[in-house]
Amino acid sequence: MSTAEILLSARQLTKRFGGLAANQDISLDLWRDRIHGVIGPNGAGKSTLTNLLSGDLAPTSGTVTLGGQDVTGLSPFEISRRGLGRSYQKTNIFLPLTVQENVRLAAQSRQHHRPWDPRRWLDVAVRDRQASQRCDRALELAGLAGRRSAVAGTCSHGEQRQLEIAMTLATEPLVLLLDEPLAGMGVAEAEKMVELLLRLKPDHAMMLVEHDMDAVFTLADHLTVMVNGQVIASGTPADIRADAAVQAAYLGEEH
């Protein structure tokens, strides 16, 4: 399969809350084997954009296509089942469960067990061979195979962020939306996360929302800069570094 493949497209996405346009006419393409960075100051509309793409918010206007299918207005679950995975600014894991149990539950979400009894999720997941295989692959990809028995609540912040990505990978997504995956990390943890994202890059289209500019310029093949809900620049990292409007609005002279 060619790596030069658009897996997600947004066209003229707009989200209004009353008279406020949190996003206005946002268009972008996410390509397999490329990382698309979205940067901008707080309040620029980056998280709103992520929520529109994932289905957590319905757009006021505009369209989203995933794998060539129109998914505009579908629920997050429906969009996820069509191949989109996302992480959140706040780590979203089951703290009392082990690392492996967390990832198994995510893997099981792709199975069709009926009747569905939420009290038996773990029991079913343990017996489900396909879910276990997806779990093992995700743990290996995320660099957590050696931590499968650790209780999630006892893991370091960096490991918990890896775990959230492992849970996403267990659903076998084509597209990854990553909302500040390096937030709160020290240098060593951030380096491990950068290595993880580079490992995932060849098989996924990725959108990275991040404030760590060193990481963004290391990882991103393409950058979109947002201010006040609008795109003010889009291009390669070199283009963005040299853009006077971006310098004035966000990056500053040090970049």
Residue from 133, 196, 134 nearest 162 by CA: 196
Average pLDDT (176-197) is 95
Q: What is the pLDDT of residue 126?
A: 58
Helix (H, G, I), strand (E, B) or coil at 213: helix
Furthest C-alpha separation in the chain:
59
Average pLDDT (232-251) is 90
Q: Could you tell me which residues come within 8 angstroms of residue 204 by beta carbon, excluding any fewer than 6 positions away?
A: 32, 33, 173, 174, 175, 176
Task: Please report, rounded to a whole number, the percentage of residues in the chain having pLDDT higher than 90.
Answer: 82
User: Taking 70 as the threshold, does the pLDDT of residue 3 lie above it?
Assistant: no
Which residue ranges form the domains of the chain, and what is each CATH number?
1-83+173-255 (3.40.50.300), 91-172 (no CATH)
Q: What is the pLDDT of residue 159?
A: 97
Helix (H, G, I), strand (E, B) or coil at 68: coil
Q: What is the pLDDT of residue 1?
A: 42
C-alpha span between 228 and 125 (Å, rounded): 44
Over residues 62-79, the pLDDT tens digits come to 999 999 999 999 999 999
User: Taking 60 as the threshold, does the pLDDT of residue 255 lie above it?
Assistant: no
Over residues 75-87, the pLDDT tens digits come to 999 999 999 999 9
Residue from 117, 100, 30 nearest 71 by CA: 30
User: Taking 50 as the threshold, does the pLDDT of residue 37 lie above it?
Assistant: yes
pTM of the model: 0.90
Average pLDDT (224-247) is 94
**Residue 84 to residues 104, 132, 154, Cα–Cα distance (Å):** 18, 20, 28
pLDDT band of residue 247 (cuts 50, 70, 90) is: confident
Over residues 121-154, the pLDDT tens digits come to 556 555 678 889 999 999 999 999 999 999 999 9
C-alpha span between 167 and 92 (Å, rounded): 10
